[in-house]
Amino acid sequence: MVYYVLLLGCLCLFCGIYMLHNINLHALDNHILILVSQYRSLSLDHFSILLSKLGGMPAFIVVLFIYCIFFARQKKNTETIFLLLSSLGSIGIGWSLKYIVDRDRPQVVEHLVQSYGASFPSAHSLYAAVLASFTALFVCQNLSYKYRNVLFCFIFSWPLAMGISRVYLGVHYLSDVLAGLGIGFIWVGLLYLCYQKKFMPYCHEKSKLKIEVKS
């Protein structure tokens, strides 16, 4: 599972960076914004604004606090440490890149919500990717195969919906969203590999064996 998350993250991040640096694709970024804005409606506006509130940093911190309580009750101190690394690390990476890249927010469509900081990468998409991948890798791995796959589909619909809503609200380009998702998936995926190697050596050796057999 972790390798699929990393592959998805690399694909998203590559596409986001490529669209950012290729001037010819800036028109595509703008065209997608304009195209999506044509489907605005009152109900979709309210729904997207709700997603914006649920996916911001305050809500992100609340979810982290709930996770910490959940792990503390089960005495899973190691998972708590990796949760903090996932969350604080993603916040640091995301906002550092915002400062370094310093991309202006889209101006071709009306913004339906107040936005803060630079545009690239999308912090909301980053937070959603971190929560989804952390939940899938650190929380749901012990579930039965049948229920786990259904839950995975539900979990990863969250960053997808969040990314679409950021474009719909007019505060991010598609490339911002792709980069945010990619960073989140890659960061948590790499942390999980470290966790697996250190605390789940059997799973780590099993994963290596599968790769060697396939190759």
Taken as a whole, the chain contains a residue count of: 215
Q: Where are the domains of the chain?
A: 2-214
Cβ proximity of 176 and 16 under 8 Å: yes
Q: What local confidence, expressed as pLDDT, does residue 113 receive?
A: 92
What is the average pLDDT across 169-195? 94
Taking only the tens place, the pLDDT of each residue in 69-122 is: 888 888 888 888 888 999 999 999 999 999 999 999 999 999 999 888 899 999
Q: What local confidence, expressed as pLDDT, does residue 138 receive?
A: 81
Classified as helix, coil or strand, 38 is coil
Cβ proximity of 209 and 154 under 8 Å: no
What ranges make up the beta strands (E) of the chain? none
Q: What local confidence, expressed as pLDDT, does residue 213 receive?
A: 43
Burial 65-85 (b: 16+ CB within 10 A, else e): eebbeebeeeebeebbebbeb
Tokens representing 7? 């592959």
> In the 8-state DSSP scheme, what is residue 55?
T
Q: How far is it, in rounded angstroms, from Cα 71 to Cα 134?
A: 13
What is the average pLDDT across 191-211? 64
Rounded to the nearest integer, the mean pLDDT of the chain is 87
Cβ proximity of 188 and 133 under 8 Å: yes
Q: What local confidence, expressed as pLDDT, does residue 204 receive?
A: 47
pLDDT reading at 146 higher than 90:
no
pLDDT reading at 127 higher than 50:
yes
Q: What local confidence, expressed as pLDDT, does residue 142 receive?
A: 66
